[in-house]
Amino acid sequence: MTSSPRTFADLTTIRVGGAPRELHEATTPEQLVETSLDVWASNEPWLLLGGGSNTIVADEGFDGTVILISTRGISETSTSYIVPEGCAASGPDAPTSHAGSIIIRVQAGEPWDAVVSFAVTHGLAGIEALSGIPGSTGATPVQNIGAYGQEVADVIVSVEFLDYLTGEVESIPAAELGFAYRDSIFKRGRLGVVLSVDFALTPSWRSDAVSDATALSLPIAYPQLADALGVAVGDRAELSRVREAVLALRASKGMLLDPSDTDTIGVGSFFVNPIVTESFARTLPADAPRYPVAAPIAQRVTPLDGSSPMLFPGLEGPALVKLSAAWLIEAAGVKKGFGVPGSGAAISSKHTLAITNRGGATSDDIAGLAHYVQALVQSHFGLILRPEPNLIGLEI
């Protein structure tokens, strides 16, 4: 192993954090397996890192080994198939819900947006609304990335996984990944490495388009995106137009990485939208946005007394609604662009939900602003916002 001159300020998109004690970069799947097993055998603390766009590390750094995942590759799987709509899918792993899809296998370190670009270019629908999300493909199932009406859980067939406990590689089907809103078994303690991910995408002919150039998206599910495209919710649009519209929307909100735009120097949304009981939601002002949550899936509920979120593991429970964390923050009095004097951290000037590094911020600056936002929201509305990123050596 080699000691690392690289700090987390270099390795993460929020650009804070000291150095790891050691860093190993894996560029092939074999190296990734071998390195992980070696590091685990040492019994030292370890941390997986892809694009570093959902990770914040303390200024002291990390007293352990970082496994930096830089594997690459997009391919059709050996079980890939094209089945006309209406016909039964064939192939050992072909789930009926993905009948007629094309399965692509993507190595964990492949940048996610390259996968979206590949799909759009090849006339494959299903992930176009996830354009412009930074980071690696292996991290996409970890928090079930989502945006503009699509979630990666909708298209994941399975992941190839190196299990920390057994040291074995196994294929885990999507149904066993415990997907929920920004959640999966990987966020709930299943330790190991996602080596590759299989996605089922819808080929253009299934969307009634005649060629890749005019391939159509899945039905547009998000009103703001439908408006931008000039179509109704539920309509389809050309894949390339959807991708361009999403990228433009994201850029207007500072949600598209751009080194020249300090509003993008962060981790995207800093807090997850709270999921609360319907009865609690009724205590909020009438104009607070509320979105019904589809049950039954594992859901975290933030109790009123501020104790740790509880988990309802897919059982019949109270009706749940998702709130808008951005609305709660603004309604609590935090404005876009707000920063504590003397701190290098500030709320994005384009989006209340993003905490950004304006240049020279420390991880304490980031955590301090996050605590301030949490405290205001708690005192106004009685709930504690839960941070979205993976925190190393920091408490928020």
Interface ranges with ligand FAD (CB under 6 A): 13, 47-55, 69, 108, 133-136, 138-140, 142-143, 145-147, 186, 193-194, 255, 257, 264, 266-268, 390
- Angle, alpha carbons 250-253-259 (nearest 5°): 80
Taking the complex as a whole, how short is the minimal distance between the CB of residue 58 and ligand FAD, in angstroms? 15
- Residue 349 catalytic? no
Alpha carbon 189 to chain centroid, angstroms: 17
Smallest distance, ligand FAD to C-beta of residue 219, A: 19
Q: Return the residue nearest ligand FAD (CB atom).
A: 135
* CB 362 to ligand FAD: min, Å: 18
Tokens of 55: 């990770």
Instruction: Examine the residue annotation and report whether 182 is marked as an active-site residue of this protein.
Output: yes
Q: Which is nearer to ligand FAD, 123 or 389 (CB)?
A: 389
* 119 in Cβ contact with 126 (< 8 Å): yes
Residue type for position 339:
G
Which is closer to ligand FAD, CB of 122 or CB of 190?
A: 190
Q: How is residue 278 written in tokens?
A: 């319907």
Q: Which of 64, 60, 45, 58 is nearest to 12 (CA)?
A: 58
CB of 5 to ligand FAD, least distance (A): 19
Q: Which one, 256 or 332, has the nearer CB to ligand FAD?
A: 256
Contact 10, 21 (CB under 8 A): no
Q: Which residues pair with 323 in a beta bridge?
A: 290
Q: Are 172 and 161 in contact (CB under 8 A)?
A: yes
* The two structure tokens encoding residue 133: 């999300």
- Of the residues 269, 348, 349, 363, which is catalytic? 269
Q: How far is the CB of 9 from ligand FAD (least distance, A)?
A: 14
Cα–chain-centroid distance for residue 106? 16
Q: Which of 25, 128, 238, 388 is catalytic?
A: 388
What is the smallest separation between the CB atom of 262 and ligand FAD, expressed in angstroms? 12
The nearer residue to ligand FAD, 94 or 369, going by C-beta atoms, is 369
Question: Based on CB atoms, which residue is closest to ligand FAD, 171 or 379?
Answer: 171
Q: Catalytic site residue 44?
A: no
Question: H helices within the chain, ranges in order?
Answer: 8-11, 29-41, 112-121, 223-229, 239-252, 278-281, 325-331, 363-381
User: How far apart are alpha carbons 180 and 192 in whole angstroms?
Assistant: 19
CB burial readout 187-226, b (16+ within 10 A) else e: beebebbbbbbbbbbbbbbbbebeebeebbbbbbebeebb
How far are the Cα atoms of 134, 152, 186, 315 from residue 22, in angstroms, in the given order? Answer: 24, 32, 23, 43
SS3 360: coil
Q: How far is the CB of 205 from ligand FAD (least distance, A)?
A: 29
Choosing from 15, 105, 182, 250, which is the catalytic residue?
182
Residue 81 or 118: which CB sits closer to ligand FAD? Answer: 118
> Who's near 164: CB < 8 A, 6+ residues apart?
40, 191, 192, 193
Maximum separation of any 2 CA atoms in the chain, in Å: 64
> Does residue 289 have a cis peptide bond before it, meaning omega lies within 30 degrees of 0?
no
**Cα radius of gyration rounded to whole Å, the chain:** 21
369 SS3 class = helix
Judged by beta carbon, residue 140 or residue 204, the one nearer ligand FAD is 140
* Contact between 205 and 181 (Cβ < 8 Å): no
**What is the nearest approach in angstroms of ligand FAD to the Cβ of residue 343?**
19
- Kindly tell me which of 89 and 246 has the beta carbon lying closer to ligand FAD: 246
Catalytic residues: 182, 269, 388
